[in-house]
Amino acid sequence: MPPKKKAGSAVKKIKETPVKAKRAKAITKPKVAKAPAAPKKVKVPAAPKRAKAGHVAENVHEKIAVVPEQKPPLHRSKIQSRPRPPLNGSKSLPRRGETQMVAFIRDPQCIFTYWEITPEGIEDVKRQLTDEFHHSSMVLMVFKIGANGHPELVQEIKVEPGDMNRYIDLNDPRGTYYLEVAQKTPSGRTVVYVRSNKITLGPSEFGGSDVSARQWETPAGILEYFSKEEFTENYYSPGGPSSMDSLKRKKGHYSSSDFR
């Protein structure tokens, strides 16, 4: 029989896994937003599936990216971003060999992204930044599309040239996001290597929808039923399911010893 039925008791919560990897510096969105407001005139192109490496950041990014790095990092109890070894477990498989960046929604509070930048892409950026390149650093930028349709930088994370992926926890997960890997100079000039696909997290993943059309209003008895402890614990707490305990008992995460 497949191991999926036997795995349960051994499963640990990922967020409990000690991550020895360095913590990235992050800059909170409010501090960014207060500096230069997102310019309305800039048209934001749709994130291409495979962004061309080395294109110069548009003004909007340059302006936002001027935020000084000495701003205090965001203090959160959870891991903000976690770099991963680039080739773990995949040694026998071919590398892609092209510049690309992909973002996934892992859960309502966490994005996973991987990227690859070709040597040619790096050379291209070097040419654009000339001498400034040697004083610059590579950054991973998280943008949120605001209500006005313009992107706002909500996190900026220093990455190393060898990094290829990250988990990013989000402060305010509702909305549409995309990410960029860029080279940033001390003066704030930013040249983008690659941009990810857009990802959207709907409002309903966070504690249930507030929307209730009048003719379909949930009767009090039903609400009461689903407000019982187990449902409150699991499904109506802000930020989505908080109690992993009962979910653990579900499919694939139990063993017969759990039944005792």
| Residues 225-244, interacting with another protein (CB under 8 A) | 225-226, 230-231, 234-236, 240-241, 244
Instruction: Identify whether the C-beta of residue 80 lies closer than 8 Å to the C-beta of residue 166.
Output: no
Minimal CA–CA distance to 153: which of 22, 34, 24?
Answer: 34
Residue 66 CB, nearest approach to another protein (Å): 32
Which residues, 111 to 150, sit near another protein by CB under 8 A? 112, 114, 116
For 158, the token pair is 């220093």
Query: Torsion angle, CA of 113/22/140/92, rounded to 10 degrees?
Result: -40
247 is an interface residue for another protein by CB under 8 A: yes
CA atoms of 133 and 121, how far apart (whole Å): 13
Minimal CA–CA distance to 100: which of 113, 111, 110?
Answer: 113
- 228, exposed or middle or buried, with CB in 10 Å at 0-12, 13-18, 19+? exposed
Minimal CA–CA distance to 59: which of 179, 151, 130?
Answer: 151
**Interface residue with another protein, options 59, 187, 232, 246 (CB under 8 A):** 246
Which residues, 160 to 199, sit near another protein by CB under 8 A? 165, 197
CA atoms 27, 198, 201, 252: torsion sign? negative
Number of residues forming the site for another protein (CB under 8 A): 79
Which residues, 74 to 113, sit near another protein by CB under 8 A? 82, 84, 87-90, 92-94, 96, 102, 104-108, 110, 112
59 is an interface residue for another protein by CB under 8 A: no
Binding piece for another protein, criterion CB under 8 A, among 39-47, 57-65, 129-137, 250-258: 250-258
Residue 181 CB, nearest approach to another protein (Å): 14
**Interface residue with another protein, options 222, 229, 232, 238 (CB under 8 A):** 222
52 is an interface residue for another protein by CB under 8 A: no
23 is an interface residue for another protein by CB under 8 A: no
